[in-house]
Amino acid sequence: MPSPLARPPVPSTDVKRAAMLFSGGPAPAANAVISTAADAFLRSGLDAIGIRHGYSELMAYDGTELKEGEAYIRFDKKELERSRTSGGITIGTARANPGKHIKSPADLTDPEKTAPMKTVYEALRSLEVDALISIGGDDTLKTANKFALFQEHLPADAKRIKVVHVPKTIDNDYNGIDFTFGFFTAVEVLAQEVRNLLEDARAQQSYFLCECMGRSAGWLAYGTAISGGASLVISVEDIVGKYSQTETVDGEERKMMNLDAVVERMVDTILTREREDGRKYGIICVAEGLAELLPASALEGVARDDHGHIAVADVQLGRLLAEKVEAGYAAKTGDERKVKPLQLGYESRCARPTAFDVILGSQLGVGAYRALVEEQKTGVMVSVERQFDLHYVPFEELVDPDNLVTKVRFIETGSDFHTLARFLETHILSDQSPEDPMTNR
C-alpha cells in the first residue's frame, strides 16, 4: 500500500499538452480551477496553456501563428501558486459561441454551420493541443459537447482533441453536480449587501426590491434572501398556480407571470410586517429570470446574446415591480411606501472566493487533469459528491441528443431548501392553500 503522504504516480498518457478556456460570465474561484488544473499538468511534466477570452481568439484564427500573450498564455508555477485564491479570471472570458448555428445533430454535417467549430479545431491543432478543458455554464457545456461531436465527423486519420468540461455558474442551476464553484461566494457577497441595505431601509422606513442574478432558476435569489434576512423571495419556480397564466404568441401558447398576483403577494408581505410590529421597512428579493416570464409586449426590442438569451438587465424588472408594488400599497392603504429597485449580481462574480469555493474549485481543477491523464476520458463533465469525491458525468447524460440543449436544474418547490425560505420570511396570514408555492402558513 502506498504511503498516504505519497503523490500519485504519473500514468502513461497521450495528453502531452492541454489547453483550458473559460467562457461566459465570471464566477468566484475561477482561478482555483485554472491554476490547480495547470499546476497538476506542470507537476507531472506535461504542458498546459490558457486560451485567452473564451473562444473569441480561436474563432478569429486565420491560419497565421497565434500570438503568445494575446491569444494564449503559458502558465508559470510561481504565478499559479499566487493566483489560486484570488478573484477574477487570469485568462479572461467572453461569450463567443462557435456552436451558435448547430441546432441539431444533422447540422454537424453542414460545412457552413460547422465552419466556426472547424476554425476552433484548427486553431487548437496549430498549438499542438491534445486536450481541451472547457470551464463554463450550461451554454459552454453545450459548446463542449458540440465540439466533441464535430470531431466524430472528421476523417478517420484526423487528430482527435479530448474534451472535458468543468461546470461553472453562480446561478447553481447545473445538473450533474450539487453545487457549482462560486455559488456560495456570490451568495455571501450579495447577502452582505442585503444586510447593509436592510439597515438603510430601516433608517428610511422604506423597502428595497433586489433583483438577483439567476436567469433560469432561483438558487442565488433564495440563497441571498435566506442568508441576508429578506422579507420575501420569489423566483421562476414560484410562478405556478394563481401566479401563472398564459398568452398566445405567433399561434403558440406561452407561459407568463400573473403580474397582479405576484405584486399582491409583495404588498401583503409589506402590510403584514406593518401590522405585526410596526416594521415599515424590509427587503424583497426576486430572481432576474422572472423577466423572461413578462408579457411578450414587454420584451419587444430587448437584445439577445449569441445563445439566444434576452439581456435581462435591459428589461429593468426591478423597476417595473417596484413601481407596481408602490401603486398596490397606495391603493390598499391610501398611504405611501417607498420601494427602491436595485440589481444585484455583477459585484459578486469576481469576488475573492470563500474557503468552500476554493476547495471545490481546486478539486474540480485536479479532476480535469485526472479525467484526462489518469482516467483517459473524453466527453465528460467533472463533478464531486460526498467528501469532494470526484466522478465524471458523460455529456450524453446532460445534453438532449435531439436538440443538443442542456436541462436547467430548478429548485424543487416543496423541497426542504425551498420550504426553508418560506419558514424564515414574513409570515402571511391569508387564505393561501397548501398548493400555493409561496405559502408559509
Q: In the predicted model, is pLDDT for residue 85 greater than 80?
A: yes
Please give the order of strands across the beta sheet that includes 47-51. 72-74, 47-51, 17-23, 131-136, 162-167, 380-385, 389-394
Q: In the predicted model, is pLDDT for residue 308 greater than 90?
A: no
| Domain 17-180+353-397: top CATH class | alpha beta
The residue with cell 475573492 is 352
Q: What confidence tens digit (pLDDT) does each residue in 360-407 have?
A: 999 999 999 999 999 999 999 999 999 999 999 999 999 999 999 998
Q: What confidence tens digit (pLDDT) does each residue in 249-258 have?
A: 777 888 999 9
Q: What is the percent of the chain where pLDDT is above 70? A: 94
Across 412-430, average pLDDT: 84
Across 224-243, average pLDDT: 95
pLDDT at 170: 95
DSSP 3-state assignment of 270?
A: helix
Judge residue 8's burial from the number of C-beta atoms within 10 Å of its C-beta, 0-12 exposed, 13-18 middle, 19 or more buried: exposed
pLDDT at 309: 66
Rounded to the nearest integer, the mean pLDDT of the chain is: 91
Say yes or no: do domains 17-180+353-397 and 186-347+411-424 share a fold. yes
pLDDT at 440: 62
pLDDT at 433: 56
pLDDT at 105: 95
pLDDT at 103: 94
Q: In the predicted model, is pLDDT for residue 333 greater than 90?
A: yes
Closest CA to 164 of 421, 383, 13: 383
CATH code 3.40.50.20 for 186-347+411-424 = no
DSSP string, 97-129: -TTTT--SGGGGG-TTTTHHHHHHHHHHHHTT-
Quote the strand ranges of 103-237, DSSP E: 131-136, 162-167, 207-212, 232-234
Residue 149 pLDDT grade (very low, low, confident, very high; cuts 50, 70, 90): very high
DSSP 3-state assignment of 197?
A: helix
pLDDT at 1: 61
Q: What confidence tens digit (pLDDT) does each residue in 17-31 have?
A: 999 999 999 999 999
pTM of this structure: 0.90
Residue 76 pLDDT grade (very low, low, confident, very high; cuts 50, 70, 90): confident
Q: In the predicted model, is pLDDT for residue 302 greater than 80?
A: no
Q: What is the percent of the chain where pLDDT is above 90? A: 79
How far, in Å, CA of 39 to CA of 369, rounded? 9
Q: In the predicted model, is pLDDT for residue 299 greater than 60?
A: yes
Take residue 395 and report the three cell numbers written for it: 455529456
Q: In the predicted model, is pLDDT for residue 303 greater than 90?
A: no
Q: Cα–Cα distances in Å, from 313 out to 8, 164, 440?
A: 47, 31, 30
Q: What confidence tens digit (pLDDT) does each residue in 99-128 have?
A: 999 999 999 999 999 999 999 999 999 999
> In which region does residue 250 sit, left (phi positive, over 0), alpha (psi from -120 to 50) or beta (all else)?
left
Q: In the predicted model, is pLDDT for residue 358 greater than 90?
A: yes
How far, in Å, CA of 48 to CA of 42, rounded? 7
Provide the residue ranges of all domains of the chain, joining segments of one domain with +.
17-180+353-397, 186-347+411-424
Residue 356 pLDDT grade (very low, low, confident, very high; cuts 50, 70, 90): very high
Under 8 Å CB-to-CB from 326, ≥6 apart: which residues?
A: 336, 337, 338, 339
Q: In the predicted model, is pLDDT for residue 438 greater than 90?
A: no
How far, in Å, CA of 47 to CA of 15, rounded? 9
Q: Cα–Cα distances in Å, from 53 out to 68, 132, 142?
A: 13, 15, 18
Take residue 118 and report the three cell numbers written for it: 472547424
The residue with cell 474540480 is 364
Residue 432 pLDDT grade (very low, low, confident, very high; cuts 50, 70, 90): low
pLDDT at 374: 95
